[in-house]
Structure 1
Amino acid sequence: MRLTLPSGLRTSLVLLAAVATGAGAANPEEGLFDLDDLRVKITETLPYVEVEHAGKPVILMRHQEPDHTIVAPYEQTARDCPPYCIQPMQLAPGVETIGELELIAYLVRASKGEPILVIDSRIEPWVSQGMIPGAIHLPYTRLDPAHAQPEAVAELLEFELGAIRLNALWNFSAAKTLVFYCNGPWCGQSPTNIRALLALGYPADRIKWYRGGMQMWEQLGFTTVKPSAANADE
């Protein structure tokens, strides 16, 4: 996939990609990446993609510096369990566990207006360290019965996730496809949301889980962005 962009927009997107990743440029003198000649691509035929984040275009690509390493706090390997216990590969029947390429495909589809939400389930201070471009911030506490009031959860289902309220029941025929992620295989925030939605009757085939989360996203050197005021949903 190769994107054809107007020159002015192309330059701004390249700059935005560099700022978002905190990456060094391919040409230090210019401070820009050459999107037509990336050294580290997503796949052999997919150098980068354009997604929309908080109403603005962002180039999603991999870090281009050869000596780039995993950033804090994702370089850490020892975390207390509980609470940071390893999650299973399959959370529940019908819920698909996906990888980076599948997640990127959902991000592109969501940017084109399809009824898809990529959801960052994490709470602070995790989110402020960076999130996946194109995702929205929906803290797991807003869907967790242990933290949220039933009416607040109902309003979230109805006004943000596309469910239709039928008195005490729900019609999920128009419900959005939800793609959840959090910090990685050792994080329980998105699994908590997924299980809560399943308990409410949300269709399992409309729930996807990026198990790798920010741990794998950072390990592969992908673009991250800071949450904006419009995107942060506390």
Structure 2
Amino acid sequence: MKFVKVLMLTTLVGGVALTTQLRAEEGNQITPGLQSVEVMHGGEKIMITRSADKNAVMPKSFAKTSRHCPPFCIQPASISAGVDTVGELEVLGYLKRVSDGDRKVMVVDSRTPEWIIRGTIPGSVNIPWNRINVDVQGAFDVSAEADTLHDILINQLGVQDVNGNLDFRNAKTLVMFCNGSWCPQSSSNIKTLLNLGYPAYKLKWYRGGMQDWVSLGLTTVNK
């Protein structure tokens, strides 16, 4: 009987040790109750986790602290009344909603393509800031080149064109980000959308952007 108890205790302790080891190999917890978030990116399933590498450092692309202002001035904590400033856990929550099939939400990387190849948030959609932050008066010329601001609003963001007027009732909730608290690209886009009539409550701003994301060891993809 004593042998059986010793064997059971050894097995239990070994099991706990193995579980702890597996968790360490999988990566740090995001929160005490959240290990990872699965999203779709480029048609592939990506698991967002935190790096378990104790020697990991900030990627060189996001390690620079001295940036010329203007244009790279420190952004305010709040852009406009009604627009929520969100953090990483809220972004993960919205990504989870998208992964679960919620087509009324979109996480938008506002940076230009040369930045995307250095790393972006899995599950986000790239709409470069200069495709939204354009001359609004000329943005609705149907003879203009494809992928105008009007095209983006109608084809990607869920806005409807009703006899030349923009209807935002079915517009998507957008979570917008760029490089970090010094980056004006996503905040400029949000201001432009607000001026067009986009509802403030449907706009969320991840102010920390990529610099905060990578500083926490969260997963990135470079496409």
Q: Which residue of 131, 141, 149 corresponds with 2:130?
A: 141
Gaps of 5+ in 2: 1-20, 141-147
What is the one-letter code of the residue matched to 2:90? E
Task: For residue 148 of structure 1, report the CA deviation from its aligned partner.
Answer: 9.5
Q: Which residue of 177, 183, 192 corresponds with 1:181?
A: 177
Question: 2:106 maps to which residue?
Answer: 117
CA contact (8 A) 2:106 2:124 kept: yes
What is the one-letter code of the residue matched to 1:182? C
Alignment of 1:202-213 (within 5 A): 202-213=198-209
Q: Which residue of 51, 54, 60 corresponds with 1:66?
A: 54
Q: Which residue of 30, 42, 48 corresponds with 2:30?
A: 42
Q: How large is the Cα RMSD of the aligned pairs?
A: 1.8
Gaps of 5+ in 1: 1-32, 228-234
Question: 1:100 maps to which residue?
Answer: 88
1:218 aligns with 2:214: yes
SS in 2 for 1:183: coil
Task: For residue 111 of structure 1, report the CA deviation from its aligned partner.
Answer: 1.2
Task: For residue 69 of structure 1, report the CA deviation from its aligned partner.
Answer: 0.9
Task: For residue 37 of structure 1, report the CA deviation from its aligned partner.
Answer: 6.1
What is the one-letter code of the residue matched to 1:189? Q
What is the one-letter code of the residue matched to 1:46? L
Question: 1:169 maps to which residue?
Answer: 165
Question: What's the CA shift string for 1:176-208, capped at 9, x where partnerless?
Answer: 110100000000110111011000000000000
What is the one-letter code of the residue matched to 1:57? K
Q: Distance in 2 between matches of 1:218 and 1:41?
A: 15
Q: Distance in 2 between matches of 1:147 and 1:198?
A: 12
TM-score normalised to the size of structure 2? 0.83
CA contact (8 A) 2:109 2:120 kept: yes
SS in 2 for 1:178: strand
Query: Rg: which structure is higher?
Result: 2
Q: Which residue of 61, 67, 72 corresponds with 1:79?
A: 67
Amino-acid identity (%) = 42
Question: 1:29 maps to which residue?
Answer: none
SS in 2 for 1:165: strand
TM-score normalised to the size of structure 1? 0.79
What is the one-letter code of the residue matched to 1:223? T
Alignment of 1:9-48 (within 5 A): 34=22, 38-48=26-36
Question: 2:16 maps to which residue?
Answer: none
Task: For residue 38 of structure 1, report the CA deviation from its aligned partner.
Answer: 3.9
